[in-house]
Chain A
Amino acid sequence: MKLIILFFAAIISAQNVTAQSSPKLVNYSLKNKKDHLVELTITGPSLYIEGYDGDDLTIEPYNIAPSKNIIADSLGLKNITSLITPAFRLQQEQAPVIKEYTDRVLVNFGVSFHEAFLIKIPRNTHLKLSATGSKDRKVVLKNLTGEVDVRGAMPLIEIDNITGPLTVNSNAVTTSKIIISNIKFKNSPLNDGKALLYLSSFMSDFDISLPEDIKANVNIKVDNGDIYSDMDIVKTYGASNNLNTISGKINGGGAFISIISTYGNVAIRKQKE
């Protein structure tokens, strides 16, 4: 028993060390603004975005364990950037600008020098995120039931446990990846005929897990990459005659999934339980 208590205490301590939160930079009420679109623009940090059952949009610096931030290429080397006079560096952290309109709330951070932000947002918010970060940065977005639109250039985007519709447009011009899992899609009139997934990238690879019983029409165009799957995609041959494209149906067809990539690969797999 003592051992079990000790084990849980150790886990809780470790979590506190690795994910200490700081004072909130944004605490904005979205109560009675369910239909508002929240447009969030941030350049620089990693973003950990979670839907929750509250009413406020909160943004706070997020301290990640340093070991998770080490770039593999720098192992055995020292960071000596500080030896150079930092005259060329932008060090001035800008305060976020928040504007509210009748149908949307705009939150603009500009360039931030924080390592990461923890962003909590009411679960049913419609979110439009524009995020750009350098090679060790990522976006982790989960637990949202509103419409989600992610743009910008991040090396890694992980999207988990959403209902969609989801739009992702990655402009990353280096090796990068977009992972989408646990889609809880229900085809309903509320979706307004929108695509469940509307994804595009220049260089990013897609790794998408879909429910095994999903009924979907897929259209995938990869100019230079390849398509991999363990799902039964039945090709609709007329549309598949387009260059570098396959069109097909999963389980007889249904929700629309569109994926386009210039240099990335696309993997579509059955969601593991």
Chain B
Amino acid sequence: MKKIILLSIIYFCCESVFAQKSATNILKIQVNKTRHIALGTNGASVDIEGYDGDDLIIEAITDKFPKTVPEYAKGLNRIPLSNRPKEDNALGYKLLQDDSLLYQINITTKCKYLHIKVPNHLYLFSIYANDGSTDSYLAIKDLKGAFQTEGSIRTTYISNVAGPFKVYSRQGKVVLYNILWKDNIEWPFSSLNFPSPYIINGGSSDVFLSLPEDLKANISFTGGEIYSDMNLETGPKSTLTLNGGGIKITTFSGGYSFQHATFYIRKQK
């Protein structure tokens, strides 16, 4: 009997140790930097960073985030779901398009976290990320060159990039900080007729935009509520100007009062 109890204790100890151990899997894809590279992800938080290499490096890391109990559920017991699929670091992709202009793939994984290194100075990089999980996020940092993001994810972070960029979030939060704003930057193509090098489509999101206090900028709006601690002044055609105007930032919002974006424009600290 003692042996059985001892074996059971050892088994449960081993199981809990293995359950917390994270496992990593890496996928490298060689890309042609003169093409538009587009990635799709589903059900994962994603960190993207630019680097001076030639390969797309996708890393799936399991058990990246410890399980947290929401405040309102503290004091209650979590009921285990015995048949819930386990997180898995298996990594693959489905090729959607591969021609002279566009290389588009959907990453397939049951991993909840992906770290993706993207070569700097691609013709254009796009990421379509979808994950409605409570703490899901997409973060893009240190990426040189044109990029665009789109998706339904709880929070999108953009930092230390010069653009041009187009960020589209249907809902949730968008946080833009330490942006390397430049007044001479342009999209590498004219066919899409983008209105400016910096486009933020908030949908019904909360958009947190930090700007240097001395930045000269024109920010255009199509709707939404705007809050700020900066000295923004009314300009022509639904535009606010900062320090007399300069670089163009274009924002979009959901059209009706009940689904508009809210823009929080703050002095960058």
Contact = CB atoms under 8 A, between A and B. Distances in A.
Interface stretch (A10-18, A71-79, A143-151, A157-165): A71-79
A135 B234 CA distance: 26
B117 interface: no
Interface stretch (A119-127, A182-190, A199-207): A199-207
Interface in B210-226: 221-226
Contacts, number: 141
Interface of B: 43, 67, 69-70, 72-73, 75-79, 81-85, 132-134, 152, 154, 170-172, 204, 206, 208, 221-229, 232-234, 237-240, 255-260, 262, 264-266
Interface string A185-226: 000000000000000001101010000000000000010111
Interface stretch (A20-28, A56-64, A98-106, A227-235): A227-235
Contacts of A81: 224-226
B257 A224 contact: no
Contacts of B237: 85
A167 interface: no
Contact of B79 (A173, A174, A233): A233
Contact of A77 (B79, B229, B238): B229
A73 B207 CA distance: 10
B82 A85 contact: no
12 contacts: A43-B256, A74-B262, A79-B227, A81-B226, A83-B240, A84-B234, A90-B256, A111-B256, A173-B171, A175-B172, A177-B72, A243-B85
Contacts of B256: 43, 90, 111
B264 A265 contact: no
A222 B70 CA distance: 15
Contacts of B240: 80, 83-84
A71 B134 CA distance: 20
A191 to B, nearest CB: 27
Given A80-B228, A175-B154, A265-B134, 12 more contacts: A43-B258, A73-B227, A77-B265, A78-B228, A79-B226, A80-B232, A132-B258, A134-B260, A205-B72, A228-B73, A230-B77, A244-B84
Interface string A25-49: 0000000000000000001100000
Contacts of A141: none
A263 B78 contact: no
Contacts of A173: 132, 152, 170-171, 204
A85 B220 CA distance: 11
B255 A88 contact: yes
A83 B226 contact: yes
A174 B204 contact: yes
A258 interface: no
5 closest A-B pairs by beta carbon, nearest first, are A263-B132, A228-B76, A77-B227, A228-B73, A74-B227
Contact of A78 (B152, B171, B227): B227
A174 B171 contact: yes
A267 B73 contact: yes
B78 A134 contact: no
Contacts of B69: 228
Contacts of A262: 132
Nearest to A227: B79
Contacts of B78: 226-228
Contact of A229 (B43, B77, B206, B257): B77
A113 interface: yes
